[in-house]
């Protein structure tokens, strides 16, 4: 690559220096503001009012910075000529911006997103202006004949006098430029709109207007609900992306302390959060009589719970024969019966699709809080869906491990072949042991399950085998190799 290929469009020095000098002068004036009172002498209400005003200035500064952050991102894309961030020695545009601005990488990424919103809004206005019909000047003709001059000429209508309608600016872009919508709130709305598969014009107006009177927490909850209610397809797609994006990683700090960082989709976080919070409540209550120096903080208790879980899992050699935890799901009767719609799980803000809820219910004490269309509780429980200890032991004895991949039985859950929500019974013939990975594969990819002569067989989806020929489960394979014709014809259950 030649040096000329790396050349970028530049701004003439006089045109660039003058605005930058004005910015520096403005920044220096902050310390010289004579009208602001001494922060150590004001009341709480006055401090809040001043903080709100300064925050608006900060938001306006972010709006000024965002387009340039987006430009750095644009020049750093793999398809660009310069790959600017790599050229400067940074893995991403956000990392490069972080080094220059002092912002965190996450904050820089949010500014890039805001800049892209502003750029798209400007481009939409330009495109609309180009597409607008040109004004046609009346043609110059010969002087009218005398009889034509006497004809009555109708005055132009009001509609004809009105100028051509100009496209309305993006409400989100306008709010960002005005400085009243902070970076965090703008990012929440932007990501909601980006995940929608439908036209977002009305939704954008609705969310931006609502943001004026909402906190960040309430706006995030509103955006989650709006996506689920207005665009179920977009919500399901987001849920699938979140499942694929889950991760957990460890890193070491200079002093040897080990950090833990990760992200979980709502359906996974519900298990973890519910379990940790239950242990936290129990341990906090148990140590109330201890001397303050012997008491653990909430964070310390949570850390100890994680370590204890790992120690138990490493040394565990016996299968679990009881439900692992209780998950309370809030759903309407119609959603549970049809399997379509959304539910909410205690402790988790994001709505969860019913398909995911059914997956979460496997081997949990699943209590569905049924509500009517107005949210009024109808009843609070279907715990009878949980397999009894003898039923689980019978299924474990038959399957010997995961019925699909033979993973250790201690890693398996009892799965209803015909779902409980669809009329399936909690009995031995309708239960099969599956590990977490295979359980998700069954639910997500459309595998079927048959039990024939007390043997578990799996039916692949048409995308894997167009003829959907049955495959033997892990405990059937040795016998099937010895007796190839033992598939049988009886079928006692199937998931379609």
Question: Pick from 435, 423, 425, 433: which is nearest to 394 by CA?
Answer: 433
Q: To which residue do tokens 């940790």 refer?
A: 276
CA distances from 164 to 61, 134, 157, 160, 380 (A): 34, 10, 14, 9, 59
Handedness of CA 346, 348, 354, 359 (dihedral sign): negative
Say which DSSP state 35 is in.
Answer: S
- How many H helices and E strands in the chain? 19, 12
Name the burial class of residue 104, with classes exposed (0-12), middle (13-18) and buried (19+) by CB atoms within 10 angstroms of its CB.
exposed
Question: Pick from 242, 286, 248: which is nearest to 265 by CA?
Answer: 242
Contacts of 101 (CB under 8 A, 6+ apart): 65, 108
Distance CA 273, CA 357 (A): 16
Contacts of 238 (CB under 8 A, 6+ apart): 195, 227
Sequential pLDDT tens for the chain (496 residues): 444 444 444 555 555 656 677 776 766 666 666 677 888 888 888 888 888 888 888 888 888 889 899 999 999 988 888 789 988 889 999 999 999 888 888 889 999 998 888 888 888 776 666 665 555 555 545 554 444 444 444 544 444 444 444 445 789 998 888 888 888 999 999 999 999 999 999 999 999 999 998 888 889 999 999 999 999 999 999 998 998 999 999 988 888 898 999 999 988 888 788 778 878 878 887 887 788 888 888 888 888 888 887 777 666 655 555 445 566 677 777 777 777 788 877 667 788 888 777 766 655 555 555 565 555 555 444 445 566 677 777 788 788 788 888 877 767 778 888 876 666 777 777 888 888 778 878 877 888 898 888 888 999 998 888 899 988 888 776 555 444 444 433 333 443 3
Distance CA 439, CA 65 (A): 47
Which residues lie across from 250 on neighbouring strands? 260
CA distances from 221 to 7, 20, 218, 227, 237 (A): 46, 40, 5, 10, 18
Contact 71, 9 (CB under 8 A): no
Task: Report pLDDT for 368.
Answer: 58
Task: Report pLDDT for 146.
Answer: 47
The token pair at 219 is 């706006």
Alpha helix segments (H runs only) across 287-353 = 298-315, 333-338
């Amino acid at each position: 690559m030649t040096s000329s290929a790396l050349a970028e469009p530049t701004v003439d020095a006089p045109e660039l220096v003058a605005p930058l000098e004005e910015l520096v002068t403005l920044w220096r004036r902050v310390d010289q503001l004579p009208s602001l009172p001494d922060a150590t002498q004001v009341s709480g209400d006055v401090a809040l009012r001043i903080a709100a005003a300064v925050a608006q200035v900060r938001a306006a500064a972010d709006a000024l910075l965002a387009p340039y952050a987006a430009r750095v991102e644009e020049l750093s894309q793999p398809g660009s000529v310069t790959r600017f961030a790599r050229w400067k020695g940074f893995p991403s545009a956000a990392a490069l911006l972080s080094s220059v601005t002092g912002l965190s990488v996450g904050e820089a990424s949010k500014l890039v997103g805001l800049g892209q919103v502003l750029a798209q809004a400007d481009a939409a206005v330009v495109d609309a202006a180009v597409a607008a019909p040109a004004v046609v000047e009346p043609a110059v003709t010969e002087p009218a004949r005398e009889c034509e001059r006497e004809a009555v000429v109708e005055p132009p209508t009001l509609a004809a006098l009105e100028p051509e309608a100009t496209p309305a600016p993006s409400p989100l872009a306008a709010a960002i430029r005005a400085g009243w919508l902070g970076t965090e709130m703008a990012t929440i709305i932007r990501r909601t709109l980006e995940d929608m598969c439908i036209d977002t014009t009305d939704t954008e107006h609705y969310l931006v207007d609502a943001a004026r009177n909402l906190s960040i927490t309430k706006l995030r909850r509103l955006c989650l609900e709006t996506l689920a209610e207005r665009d179920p397809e977009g919500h399901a797609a987001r849920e699938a992306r979140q499942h694929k994006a889950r991760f957990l990683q460890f890193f070491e700090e200079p002093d040897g302390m080990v950090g833990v960082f990760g992200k979980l989709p709502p359906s996974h976080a519900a298990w973890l959060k519910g379990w940790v919070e239950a242990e936290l409540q129990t341990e906090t209550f148990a140590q109330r009589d201890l001397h303050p120096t012997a008491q653990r903080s909430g964070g310390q208790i949570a850390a100890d719970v994680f370590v204890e879980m790992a120690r138990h899992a490493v040394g565990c050699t016996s299968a679990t024969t009881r439900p692992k935890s209780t998950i309370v799901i809030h759903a309407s009767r119609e959603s549970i019966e049809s399997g379509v719609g959304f539910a909410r799980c205690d402790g988790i803000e994001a709505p969860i699709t019913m398909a995911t809820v059914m997956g979460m219910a496997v081997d949990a004490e699943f209590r569905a809080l049924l509500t009517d269309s107005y949210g009024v509780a109808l009843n609070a429980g279907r715990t009878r869906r949980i397999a009894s200890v003898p039923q689980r032991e019978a299924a474990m004895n038959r399957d010997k491990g995961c019925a699909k991949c033979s993973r250790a039985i201690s890693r398996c859950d009892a799965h209803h072949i015909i779902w409980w929500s669809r009329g399936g019974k909690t009995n031995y013939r309708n239960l099969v042991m599956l590990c977490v990975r295979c359980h998700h594969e069954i639910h997500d990819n459309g595998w079927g399950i048959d039990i024939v002569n007390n043997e578990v067989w799996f039916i692949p989806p048409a995308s894997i085998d167009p003829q959907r020929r049955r495959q033997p489960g892990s405990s059937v394979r040795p016998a099937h190799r010895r007796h190839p014709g033992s598939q049988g014809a009886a079928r006692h259950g199937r998931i379609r």
